[in-house]
Chain A
Amino acid sequence: MTVEIGHFALILALLVSLVQTIVPAWGARIGEQRLMAVATPAAIATFVLVLISFLMLAEAYVTSDFSVANVWNNSHSAKPFIYRLSGVWGNHEGSLLLWILILVLFGMAVAVFGGYLPASLKANVLSVQGSVALAFLLFIILTSNPFERLDPAPLEGRGLNPILQDPALALHPPLLYAGYVGFSMAFSFAIAALIEGRTDAAWARWVRPWTLAAWMCLTLGIAIGSWWAYYELGWGGWWFWDPVENASFMPWLAGTALLHSAVVMEKRESLKVWTILLAILTFSLSLMGTFLVRSGVLSSVHAFAVDPERGIFILGIMIFFTGGGLALFAARAGALRQGGLFSPISREGALVLNNVLLATATGTVLIGTLYPLALEAVTGAKISVGAPYFNLTFGPLMVPLLLAMPFGSFLGWKRADLKAAGERLLFAAGIALVGAVIALAVVQRGPWAAPLALALGFWVMAGAVSEILFRARFGQAGSAEVMRRMFNLPRSAWGAAWSHFGVGLMVTGIVATTAWQSEKIVALKPGERAEIAGYTLEFRGVQPGRGPNFSEEIGRLVVSRDGQPVTELLPSKRLYDAPRQPTTEAGIHVALSGDLYAILGDAQSDGGHAIRLYFNPLVRFIWLGAVLMFIGGAFSLSDRRLRVGAPRKARKTAAVAAE
């Protein structure tokens, strides 16, 4: 019965979102307050209804109700509780429901916290938001109903793909969707601005927290996905330029550009048209990511819905919102007035450079991802565009971006002095050089370009630290004064510094692990040893083990260094009961200098076991960097300027300016 309630609530949500789409927009058009006011309760009601629907599905999963086709297909009663729960979104229908739940959650957040927005703007934003929800509710109800029943009900479910039976599944999709869907807020605000034909600094100030929140979630979501792949897929890689990864990376790149251009718009009323376009494109890329993953055009492990009908439906949604948004943009963008003159050497100029490079990078990833599909559709020729292409094209684009990053923070608005900024960055440049030399002395092996790339990471990190020190007058004022100034720096300055530092840290990790990873493939009999990166590993044989829904073979490797015991690694091979699929679980020892990573292979004919060992230097910096970016975002989000209520003041000054 509960499942029918869920289904019913979903249909009700569809109807309410229809009202939310039409009535407030109509009210805004004819200037009728009461019609506009419908938006708020409608957005709240949609959320409550979708939440009910989601909880009903979750209940079916937790209680293993196999009369529900979706549960039968993707769950098993022997699964641990957490995977029964996270399994709700470990499949096409359920993850789509989660997608919609987060979408309407954002809509409700605007309805509840958006009291400070002008009534017509709020009505239009919620109307656009409602239309997105409407499209996806239609999609789920017509093509991907998670509440379909089976009669008679099977006794046992078919189980969840073992690779997905991991704690990361509880976090990775929700964060990713929060990112994708969060960009719908920027989109809705952009469309509303185009409908009203008006944007100002206040607009940018309203959009920025939503974009920032979405960006933070996407950053963390992608990082968790990368980490998950690293320890689960078993070959020590952390990024594969897989089309599905690219699908999440493109909105991230565009969203990063959007965050930076919105700063220019907020502070200087410049780049308005571009920011609006970027807001539309960022969400379009999110929709495209959804399309690429769901339609099955990529046929990768992520495409749990290889179903052309669904693909065409999502393609329709994507074309409608992207095409509609761009058409509206083409028609109305001319009416937006640009403001804010600036010289190329200025904070604005640096942010424009940021946008130029990030937009190019986004376009490059987009073309690399879609080119094989397009070529095959047009000529029938099949080619592959893989990691080597992206490394060759995307990599060089990041070099000027990283080089320019610290400069940007030191340039003033409107017109700035590059030389003065350079002088303030001498310290950072020195750190970068010294760091590169030290790295070279420590590893003493090629590739010889790696220390230079590493220096780039140090440069960015030291640049971020320099900015904070400079703004706190470090070295000029007394230490008490410096502390006071540091404490009083705007949170957004801290946010930028943390995030930029995170980027530098990530670059360091990427360079170190790419350039200096060691690998050893060996066949060991019990008692035999292997050495890698200064560690000695003694193989102690394989023992059988049994988990809640899998059996496994666990290899034991005793690790020592210079004769001192360090740890034990227990890499294993699992065979899940349902579905009967094997997975490999890496044994990982985390040290400051890097990860020691072991994978257990097959038994060899001579009684030994195949074992693959890696040492991945500084690999943790990659994810740690992403966490710092997230923390930076959180700092920025807590800036009083962006807090709810604070924009009131901005609106008044904007109104004064318009008079």
Chain B
Amino acid sequence: MTHAGKWVARWASALALTLALGLPGTALAVQPDEVLPDPRLEARARVISADLRCLVCQNQSIDDSNAPLARDLRLLVRERLNAGDSDKAVLDFVVQRYGDFVLLRPPVNTATLVLWLAPLLLLIGACALAARHMLIGARSDTAGVDDTPLSAEESRRLEKLLKQKG
């Protein structure tokens, strides 16, 4: 963590320095000169770029980022596409260089199984809890019939009547 922190800090300060010195900064993410002439290839490049993390930014895809490194990666992606790689081959190529960290959509493997299953497990758990609550609630409610159920009901009705009047 501290290592990564330092790394990010170094990059950030390098970037800040670049800007402070008035060197040409990039105010756009994808530059006009990057765009591939073949619109289909370009569209594929954009989709791939949206799934790749800009490594020097926080949680930005290379498609959204102005950072020079993001531009390098965008060019790399387009270069691979031009060379005839499939989408998967491009992603594999980038992952080989930068590791899984570069993927904004983490791959499904043993390390991320919990992550990907979590929503489903949570949903099942929540449903089970709700079902149990309804069943137990039903049981304890019938068990508690003796606890002056009429006055509670009456007061509720009374409240309703009061509400209607006022």
Contacts and interface: CB of A to CB of B under 8 A. Distances in A.
Interface of A: 234-235, 237, 240-243, 269-271, 274, 296-301, 306, 337-342, 344, 349, 352-353, 355-357, 359-360, 363-364, 367-368, 371, 375-377, 379, 381-389, 392-394, 397, 490, 521-523, 573, 580-582, 584, 599-602, 604, 610, 612, 640-641, 649-650, 653-654, 656-657, 659
Nearest to A378: B111
A522 B141 CA distance: 68
Contacts of A242: 58-59
Interface string B31-57: 111010000000000000011010000
Contacts of B138: 341
Chain B contact residues (Cβ within 8 angstroms of A): what range?
35 or more
Given A342-B134, A584-B27, A657-B151, A301 B58 contact: yes
A521 B163 contact: no
Contacts of A610: 28, 31-32
Contacts of A237: 64
Interface in B82-107: 99-106
Given A360-B123, A653-B159, A657-B155, A385 B115 contact: yes
A371 B118 CA distance: 10
Given A360-B122, A522-B32, A386 B59 contact: yes
Contact of B20 (A359, A383, A580, A657): A580
A299 B8 contact: yes
A656 B127 contact: no
Contacts of B20: 580
5 contacts: A241-B59, A359-B126, A371-B118, A580-B19, A610-B32
Contacts of B61: 386-387
B112 interface: yes
Contact of A340 (B5, B114, B137): B137
Contact of B104 (A339, A388, A659): A388
B119 A364 contact: yes
Contacts of A301: 58
Contacts of B126: 355-357, 359-360, 363
Interface of B: 1, 4-5, 8, 16, 19-20, 22, 24-33, 35, 50-51, 53, 58-61, 64, 99-106, 111-112, 114-115, 118-119, 122-123, 126-127, 129-130, 133-134, 136-138, 140-142, 144, 148, 151-152, 155, 158-159, 162-163, 166
B134 A387 contact: no
A613 to B, nearest CB: 11
Contacts of A300: 58-59
Given A359-B126, A384-B103, A388-B50, A602 B26 contact: yes
B10 to A, nearest CB: 12
Contacts of B35: 521
Contacts of B50: 387-388
Given A382-B101, A602-B28, A376 B159 contact: no
Contacts of A344: 134
Given A356-B130, A521-B32, A650-B159, 11 more contacts: A340-B137, A344-B134, A352-B133, A359-B126, A385-B106, A386-B53, A386-B59, A387-B50, A388-B51, A521-B30, A521-B31
A601 B31 CA distance: 8
Contacts of A360: 119, 122-123, 126
B5 A306 contact: yes
A389 B111 contact: no
Given A384-B101, A523-B32, A337 B144 contact: yes
A364 B111 contact: no
A242 B127 CA distance: 28
A367 B118 contact: yes
Nearest to A303: B58
Given A341-B141, A521-B31, A384 B118 contact: no
A232 to B, nearest CB: 13
Nearest to B104: A386
Given A301-B58, A601-B31, A363 B104 contact: no
Nearest to A306: B5
Contacts of B136: 338
